């Protein structure tokens, strides 16, 4: 039985992913801050899901991951789904601070540890859910787009590093557009996907060991346009 840890599995995409992996007979380590939601998830799948309750902004990240790996009896795949973002039109420091702690500090600590764990094991797969916002700056939530860009760039660096090491160590950067979860706070939303549909496409992208995947698939068009639109136009909408 293969083993996966999902960071941020209490609700939304993370919870749907945990269910998908359990359905497909993986042993799942689900993490999150809300113990009651983790417990309800484990109650649904007592034979496939183990839980570890912790907050990625605190100091116990690595010990919690080590403990979960021990409970699972190893690790084949880590999915970093934990994320935070609030509209910060007046550039509020507390929002930017929380965003950076979760999307940058928590992310890099856990992914760095897992990459090195897989180096020792000689194989593994890391996937991280960044955002389509990683492509350009965003005036409505500057720290959110910047932190997701950090995640995406870091994952690209790990991909290159793994390639140079010539190991079966796979890296997948997932960039969703709008998904119907509390994280979708943009004042103007379109092409909104359900969490279930997003999870299914993410599961498929990871299974196929994609380096990068847009969720849903048609968001690749928005990604292409965002990369080429000149600043004179983008500054009116970004």
Tens digit of pLDDT for each residue in 3-20? 999 999 999 999 999 999
Which residue in this structure is represented by tokens 């979760």?
Answer: 102
Nearest to 33 by CA among 76, 4, 64: 64
Q: Is the pLDDT of residue 53 over 70?
A: yes
d(CA 110, CA 81): 11
Tens digit of pLDDT for each residue in 80-130? 998 888 888 889 999 999 999 999 999 999 999 999 999 999 999 999 999
What mean pLDDT do residues 68-83 have? 96
**Would you kindly state where each structural domain of the chain is located, as residue ranges?**
3-234
This prediction's pTM: 0.91
What's the order of all strands across the beta sheet hosting 212-215?
Answer: 49-53, 27-32, 3-7, 77-80, 124-129, 169-176, 212-215
Question: What pLDDT shows up at residue 106?
Answer: 94
Question: What pLDDT shows up at residue 187?
Answer: 52
Is domain 3-234 classified as CATH 3.40.50.720?
A: yes
Question: What pLDDT shows up at residue 189?
Answer: 63
Q: Report phi then psi at 7, rounded to 5.
A: -85, 115
H-state helical runs in the chain: 12-23, 35-44, 61-72, 93-100, 107-121, 142-165, 195-207, 219-228, 231-234
Which residue in this structure is represented by tokens 């190991």?
Answer: 167
Tens digit of pLDDT for each residue in 170-226? 999 999 988 887 654 455 566 778 989 999 999 999 999 999 999 988 887 887 887
Query: HSE on the CB side for 108, CA within 13 Å?
Result: 14
Q: Report phi then psi at 184, rounded to 5.
A: -85, 90
């Amino acid at each position: 039985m293969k083993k996966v840890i999902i960071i941020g599995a209490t609700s939304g995409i993370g919870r749907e992913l945990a269910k998908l992996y359990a359905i497909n007979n993986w042993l799942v380590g689900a993490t999150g801050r809300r113990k009651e939601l983790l417990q309800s998830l484990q109650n649904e799948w007592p034979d496939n899901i183990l839980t570890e309750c912790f907050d990625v902004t605190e100091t116990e990240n690595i010990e919690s991951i080590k403990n979960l790996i021990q409970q699972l009896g190893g690790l084949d795949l880590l999915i970093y789904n934990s994320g935070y973002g609030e509209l910060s039109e007046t550039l509020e420091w507390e929002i930017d601070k929380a965003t950076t702690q979760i999307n940058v500090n928590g992310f890099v600590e856990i992914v760095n540890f897992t990459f090195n764990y897989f180096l020792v094991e000689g194989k593994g797969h890391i996937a991280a859910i960044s955002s389509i916002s990683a492509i350009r700056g965003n005036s409505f939530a500057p720290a959110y787009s910047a932190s997701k860009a950090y995640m995406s760039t870091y994952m690209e660096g790990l991909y290159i590093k793994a390639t140079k090491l010539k190991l079966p160590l796979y890296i997948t950067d997932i960039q969703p557009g709008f998904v119907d979860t509390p994280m979708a706070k943009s004042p103007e939303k379109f092409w909104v996907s359900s969490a279930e549909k997003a999870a299914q496409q993410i599961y498929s992208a990871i299974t196929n060991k994609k380096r990068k995947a847009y969720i849903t698939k048609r968001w690749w068009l928005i990604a292409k346009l965002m990369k080429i639109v000149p600043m004179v136009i983008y500054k009116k909408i970004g």
